[in-house]
Structure 1
């Protein structure tokens, strides 16, 4: 496949993503003769546009993917998302900000059990079988989800309008080409309609990688649909593609027709892609990718009138430790769910609000057994009941919260992955609600998926005081959504300086009298249960030595120069770990240094001897327990330098 054709193919994929991401369901305004128009406020649109938009790209190591929200502008063409920080930046260092969810938009990933959950960065390039989609033609099985669509529908006449608010980005070749889709709208009249959205982004050119031109926001048709059957809870349809002919933009490859998968996305969409520089990615151009350009089915679903709903403050959490989320519930009418079991038999049974890992078929209203619902219990399980019944079910200590008369509640639920993992190895993590006390009410059964992903901390490497002949302290600081723990290793031009344990997110090192010149310092963090492994760099320049130095006066045995000794840490002592004290002495000193380790109370623990070499001594301390200590360093004198003694106190944590 030639280079130009590869560019066309990825563009088609991108457009397909746009359609999916930006496809707003607009159902045409109902005619006055409609039988029964229903107001909808919670419609969800799901679509992948086509298979190419979520598949491996032709360029080695790149793939096509979605991002919730609008990616940041890299400011130049041919940039790709940086995997080391999970798409937080572009290859040139510009902020990218890849996200799996933002506002009403979530990028979903197919799980091994066939269900869908918000994707992780890994899930955006790997399918449910664990195969990477950075190989051409392998799909990541991602879907776009746009929630909270509003409008009206009339299932009797198959007519309606639904509007979504939100943005997503369709990314091809890991970012070499991308565009934004905003506020999709679906309009249907008598079973025929369109999916439209506002597209914007940047124009690129594979023949000229430096090209990167902003494109104006343009209203386009993402797809046309026909034969739509609106039900009381949604629709499923496949936008037209096969057999659709278009006029291709100037300088684009011709459309190839007559094949089993030949066709195109709508003309206005193709026209916009002409500006992006990727029009041929969205129509059949005779290449091997044509079969993956075909539109795939989209679904729109909404709840029955009266369906309860919840909002959860956070749905992507850290994989380790207990974390709290706030759950707000509406529509849980107390009078519509009567308990059949004590202690509330015959009275409103309220609603369980739980963090758990449930089977695919979990709802009590369809007869799923209690074993299908594995709850965390404790602070991870609440029971919303009317205020008068809170004491009856054990009060706040037993997890009781108030279910207000208007059917609303506010619950603080503890999410701890390890708790449910200890009870089951299958199912989907989420915040679930269902009627309490044995009541049956399907309108009160809700599910909000919870995804666990490690944080990606930022790394700052600070080196100060770069003076020739002097030691240079280096501080490595990690910051992010989770407190980083564990070890950091510092290297200088590939040579290991040392390894230190983080304390309150930072670690300290000392470059011992670094040579003049440029020092590329790299701090490598190994990661922990809640943080990914990351690295950070900085460049330190040490000026050259002065060309002339003062000549010291004659030194006699009767008049030795004053002895000196200064102690810094090569590796700071930590509980259970060996430390290294670096002793800087006079260049005239010779022999061995004696170092004594004492407790804070003055008790001698260890005497250590180390030889002076070029004015520097490295004293290797033993493993020490937590507490306060003192290091006494004795430097011998000679004919040229007086003896010296220095005491350094330190604390081991």
Structure 2
């Protein structure tokens, strides 16, 4: 299994390195009929955003016109094949003053929360994105808004604060060529009056009741080696500094040596370009006779994320009598020893579960 895990990491690293090494040619000048412009509105899609103070969780609606649906045919070879129009990204973030891809600004100059980036792409181009052997079409479709033949699109964007904010960062809505396509005409910036302070629509942080790094190198393997991401929602969180996953407690029925601890939350794990995308959802710790098993709903394949889930036993937990007594009283237990079970699915998760499991912390 160690060999298989290394092979998986090697494959993903090779794919991302190959894609990153492809030269990007500047896009030819857009046809005169297409002059890209955007307007930004509040959530009603009618009221101009103007200087309205916005906060995390607020929604703006970006309306574009003059975006050539047949442009941007060069860029990364995945997920959109060479020669197929790559579309346009619509993003919110504190981009650096020098942010434009056409002026060789690095990707780090465009910090954003990737899951909130929209992708304006024509239906014809989307249909040409491969769905085998990796379902890249699903990946693009999950972020896509239709770029119509007349060059218009409508993209709702949920505002959120990325981890890294450049010293000269300017909050705003930005558009630029999708998947490393270079098209200076589509590089547009509209300032947004944004505060990182919580507002009326800011989601409340989920309680961190079940805390688990999964394995010592789980997070770094995903975000480092595969250039992917680990994100939490609906009761789950991810500590980007420590790599720890967390889930919110729903119920505790442990009495004596039996009962269940049930949690809510969804963690999505994906490589760059979503060559693999798997989910870890709604953990349950089942205690019977002093033995405990931690299970989660996981993806049924390596590429279907939360589309289809099934519950899988992930790890055996070792609980002492003192631990059980504390759980019965609803008191915190830290450093619970865990050991991965065999038969974990899907395959990519199994390959990330071949070494030691990290200890589990339970809080109330």
Structure whose residues are more often helix by fraction: 2
Structure ID, larger Rg: 1
TM-score higher than 0.5: no
Structure whose residues are more often strand by fraction: 1
Report the TM-score, using the length of structure 2 for normalisation. Answer: 0.38
Report the TM-score, using the length of structure 1 for normalisation. Answer: 0.22
